[in-house]
Chain A
């Protein structure tokens, strides 16, 4: 199995690095200021004023993230794809019907498990993880995906299921 960076994941990593650098800067600045002798009244006077802005900024940042997330939920709702693919996980295999999919069609993966919990992770022909859904005994999870690229995709198990968990792989083809 091959993996590679996807643009989405790299963007997320970059955003996290920006946050980390900002936080490290704050901690370094506070540490450098810690040995000075400043009256606590002065610290709180400025600190409480700045805290309002900090509170507003965080509410805006986190609130925007949550609202934005609502527009890109992977849940299918009542929508179903133009093609249905039944996927079943078992110790330690995937079965899939049909096992070839035409490119560009929105596929509804109906995912379940015959035994324990598994996790279906789908990697595109470039090795980029394009989505995942859990495979649970007694339940059908529906994952709608449009597979644009042609080539060999990989299904991997993303929920620990036993001693051959890392071998639970299956390839499938998306054809023109």
Chain B
């Protein structure tokens, strides 16, 4: 049995919903898990449905079946992509949380809700920006397009959109920090939670697979969010002062690192959920294995280095990232195909698999991931990309693995919750017909794009080349077929929800679901435990103080004077000051007498600090703001001392998050300052 997993409190669904042997692997069904599942899964699916309708409208416009101005088309295109990203992200964040919470009780319900709120608020701002403000620069808001509106939108709309996407990043960052903090504290640090200790024979049992997935994804998520926050802050600085110049290639690198990585991580969030759900229907446990643990380590390396394939056609991009991306983009398929999907197939083969609506959707999701991934790998080969770049092949492959992979897994997650709550599987008719219609419609839809891509039709065109409207019309028909299946699925969901409510009313006099601390505000006895200090030994503290001292040479007049020569060097000096402050704070907070009093009670404050302070520092790195005080020596020195204090506060905040999450977020914060210095040059 999975460590910490608990049986369903009712135990009634086992005979009808799950495989007879699958019940023992069922994740707990306590109140926080159910709430997170419903809130995240419900919001995600609602966004998916709404944005799917927007997408169908766009295809009908390209088919010249309905008429919409290009201005509105591009607004809807921007909304569709940002909304789908947020919806899929929310769903799979909830799906992973749901299955990890069973084995990592330290996950905070409140912080999960805070991340949901941030993302939903971000989506609201995106809606306002697009529908009221007319913003239509695409979800990637590639600099300098948000500020070159051609009269289509005003600056406030651009700022609202950028802040909205920033909030989506903040929500994901909060989630990642809390999940990484909890998994690494529960499973012996980063090496324990990634299964490295188990691989080295130092941990006899190793972490459950979903913990490895959660740890790997959230580690990358923090880095990805930090990069996203840097470009968001740089764009806001440009808004404050138009003279702040951003290097276009630098901006593109940061934007695609953020966009590519977060889109990829959605799939890997889902994998953690799949590790737990598939065994319920196969009656076989998805066990930790050496290929799995090793595969995840390679996946981290490949996902973090593959983003540059978005810049293949930027010939001025240095050769190293292009070549690394060429290898990483293909190599990323190996852990997926050889470990994850292959292991899933072995689990299912000859298992007397229990086919329900949930398990059908889970299974079809594997196929969508595999086929769409193949289309992506083909496009990641540079000579092929040369002739397919930004044609309709691109939306073909990512819709293939997002819509027919992650999209079906989003539905599977909600179906799982509903079938479990109702204590019965979905009707046989829906179990067969809804997936069948969605598969027929979905693949017809994406294959019309693959063919159009081979034809050379550009993506993101409101009006397609003359004579090619038929492809869009065929795609629209298939999209309608998909939607018919989806509506059938929704009708079944309503039926299951009714059964679940009746069942709940009938059993209301019976035993209540167990509750976990944090869901309803009751005191968590773990709050008084000291947080894991970032530095454990006097030697570590001495080294950290030494690093701060070395960096403090940047404060000496010859260097600090030289740093005033250019804006880039000046911002680099800010990075050094931030570094000094953060290192001193870490050393101070790790000293035994203080470390004892840094308890989990401070985690919320620490989390707010590490999210807001580094971003705030970048927001004020606008020459128009600080140049006024540069003329006064005292004010100038005070300003730099202020940056050091911001680093100090961030270091203290990171010290409340445990060793792994604390260091990851702190190093990412310092990285934000350095990245900013590298690309923001004007002002």
Identify B150's interface contact among A15, A129, A131, A162, CB under 8 A.
Answer: A162
Q: Taking CB as reference atom, which chain B residue is nearest A14?
A: B454
Q: Separation in Å of the A161 CB from the closest CB of chain B?
A: 7
Compute how far the CA of A3 lies from the CA of B468 in the bound complex, rounded to whole angstroms.
8
- A-side contacts of B462, CB under 8 Å: 163, 165-166
Question: How far in angstroms is the closest Cβ of chain A from B145?
Answer: 5
- Are the CB atoms of B330 and A132 closer together than 8 Å? no
From 460 to 494 in chain B, residues with beta carbon under 8 angstroms from any chain A beta carbon are: 460-468
Contact assessment for B456 and A140 in the assembled complex, using a CB-CB cutoff below 8 Å: no
Residues A163 and B150 in contact, CB atoms below 8 Å apart:
yes
Contact code string A61-83 (vs B, CB < 8 Å = 1, else 0): 01101101110111110000000
> Whole-angstrom distance between the alpha carbons of A133 and B381 in the complex?
15
Within 8 A of B (CB), among A1-29: 1-6, 8-10, 12-13, 15-16, 19-20, 23-24, 26-27
B63 to nearest A CB, angstroms?
15
Complex interface: chain A residues within 8 A of B54 (CB): none
Asked whether B349 lies within 8 Å of A74 as measured between CB atoms, the reply is: no
One of B109-117, B244-252, B651-659 at the interface:
B244-252
Q: In the complex the two chains form, is B455's CB within 8 Å of A20's CB?
A: no
Which residues of A are found within 8 Å of B315, using beta-carbon distances?
A: 74-76, 133-134, 141-143
Residues of B within 8 A of A166 (CB): 70, 458, 461-464
The interface residues of chain B lying within 8 Å CB-to-CB of A69 are 326, 381-384
Docked complex Cα distance between A23 and B404 (Å): 14
- Contact indicator B136/A163 (Cβ below 8 Å): yes
CB distance from A144 to the nearest CB of B (A): 10
CB-CB < 8 A to A30: which residues of B?
A: 345, 348-349
Answer whether residue A156 sits at the interface, using C-beta atoms and an 8 A cutoff: yes
Write the chain B residue with the least CB distance to A161: B145
Most buried by B among A4, A58, A115: A58
Known contacts: A62-B334, A130-B387, A134-B314. The answer to whether A40 contacts B150 by CB under 8 A is no
B346 at interface (Cβ–Cβ under 8 A)?
yes
Q: Which residue of B lies closest to A71 (CB)?
A: B383
CA of A62 to CA of B291, assembled, Å: 19
Asked whether B371 is an interface residue with its Cβ less than 8 Å from the other chain, the reply is yes
In the complex, A136 has a CB within 8 A of chain B: yes
Q: What distance in Å separates the Cβ of A139 from its nearest Cβ neighbour in chain B? A: 5
State the CA gap A117–B252 with chains docked (Å).
9
Given the interface pairs A66-B381, A72-B383, A140-B316, the reply to whether A163 lies near B248 with Cβ below 8 Å is: no
Q: Given A4-B455, A139-B249, A141-B316, do A55 and B386 touch, yes or no (CB 8 Å)?
A: no
Decide if B465 touches A3 in the complex (CB within 8 Å). yes
Give per-residue flags for B326-349: 1 if the beta carbon is below 8 A from chain A beta carbons, else 0.
110011011001100010011011
Cβ contact within 8 Å between A133 and B313: yes
Q: How far is the CA of A133 from the CA of B351 in the complex (A)?
A: 51
Quote the shortest CB–CB distance from B45 to chain A (angstroms).
24
A115 to B137, CA, bound (A): 14
B120 to chain A, nearest CB (A): 27
B363 touches A1 (CB 8 A): no
- The CA of A44 and the CA of B346, in the complex, are separated in Å by 7
Residues from chain B with Cβ under 8 Å of A138 in the complex = 247-249
- CB B678 to nearest CB in A, in angstroms, measures 15
- What chain A residues lie within 8 Å of B389 (beta carbons)? 119, 132, 158
**Which of B215-223, B372-380, B514-522 sits within the interface?**
B372-380
Beta-carbon contacts of B441-459 to A below 8 Å, as 1s and 0s?
0000000001101111111
Q: Contact partner of A66 among B327, B350, B374, B465, CB < 8 A?
A: B327
Residues in B with CB closer than 8 Å to A75 are 315, 319, 322
B148 lies within 8 A of chain A by Cβ: yes
Contact A129/B374 with A38-B350, A162-B74 known, Cβ cut-off 8 Å: no
Interface string of B73-85 (1 = CB under 8 A from A): 0100000000000
Kindly state whether residue B536 has any CB partner on chain A within 8 Å. no
- Name the A residues within 8 Å of B23 (CB-CB): none
Give every chain A residue within 8 A of B198 (Cβ-Cβ): none
Question: Does A123 sit at the interface, judged by CB under 8 A?
Answer: yes
Of B148, B374, B388, the residue contacting A116 (CB under 8 A) is: B148
Residues of chain A with a CB closer than 8 A to B351's CB = 34, 38, 40
Complex CA–CA separation, A68 to B248 (angstroms): 31
Contact in complex: A165, B350 (CB < 8 Å): no
Q: A69-B326, A129-B456, A158-B389 are in contact. Are A20 and B136 (CB under 8 A)?
A: no
A102 at interface (Cβ–Cβ under 8 A)?
no
Q: Which of A39, A55, A63, A166 has the most CB of B within 10 A?
A: A166
- Kindly identify, within residues 340 to 370 of chain B, every residue whose CB is under 8 Å from any CB belonging to chain A: 342, 345-346, 348-353, 355, 363, 366-367, 370
Residues of B within 8 A of A35 (CB): 352-353, 355
Inter-chain CA distance A117–B454, complex, in Å, is: 24
Of all chain B residues, the one with the shortest Cβ separation from A115 is: B148
Q: Which residues of A contact B249 (CB under 8 A)?
A: 136, 138-139
Q: How far is it, in angstroms, between the C-alpha of A116 and the C-alpha of B545 when the chains are bound?
A: 45
A23: chain B residues at CB < 8 Å are: 367, 370-371, 374
Cα separation A5 to B355 with both chains bound (whole Å): 42
With an 8 A cutoff between CB atoms, is B142 at the interface?
yes
* Complex CA distance for A46 and B152, rounded to whole angstroms: 61
Which of A6, A127, A130, A137 is close to B248, meaning CB atoms less than 8 Å apart? A137
Question: Would you call A8 and B387 a contact (CB within 8 A)?
Answer: yes
Which residues on B sit within 8 Å (CB–CB) of A38? 349-351
Q: Assess whether A117 is in contact with B451, with CB atoms less than 8 Å apart.
A: no
Find out whether the CB atom of B456 lies under 8 angstroms from the CB atom of A162.
Answer: no
Q: Please report the C-alpha to C-alpha distance between residue A13 and residue B391 in the assembled complex, in whole angstroms.
A: 13
Please tell me if the beta carbons of A162 and B145 are within 8 angstroms of each other in the complex. Answer: yes
- On chain A, the residues within 8 Å of B367 by CB distance are 23-24, 27
Is B259 on the interface with A (CB-CB < 8 A)?
no
A residues near B355, Cβ cutoff 8 Å: 34-35
Residues on the A chain within 8 Å of B464, using CB: 166
Q: Is the CB–CB distance between B390 and A137 below 8 Å? A: no
Instruction: Report yes or no: B247 in contact with A19, Cβ–Cβ below 8 A.
Output: no
Docked Cα-Cα span, A94 to B96, in Å, equals 48
A161 to B337, CA, bound (A): 37
For A55, the chain B residues whose CB sits under 8 A away are 334, 338
Q: Is B596 an interface residue (CB 8 A)?
A: no
Q: How far is the CB of B77 from chain A (nearest CB, A)?
A: 8
On chain A, the residues within 8 Å of B337 by CB distance are: 54, 58
If A24-B367, A116-B145 are given as contacts, then 12 extra A-B residue pairs at C-beta distance below 8 Å, sorted by A number, are A5-B455, A8-B387, A36-B352, A37-B352, A75-B322, A76-B315, A91-B148, A129-B391, A133-B315, A134-B315, A162-B150, A163-B152
Ranked nearest first, the 10 interchain pairs of A and B with the lowest CB-CB distance are: A38-B350, A129-B456, A34-B353, A72-B383, A166-B461, A158-B390, A9-B454, A13-B454, A160-B460, A62-B330
Can you pick out 9 interface pairs between chain A and chain B where the beta carbons lie within 8 Å of each other? A1-B466, A12-B388, A27-B370, A47-B349, A55-B338, A75-B315, A132-B386, A137-B144, A165-B461
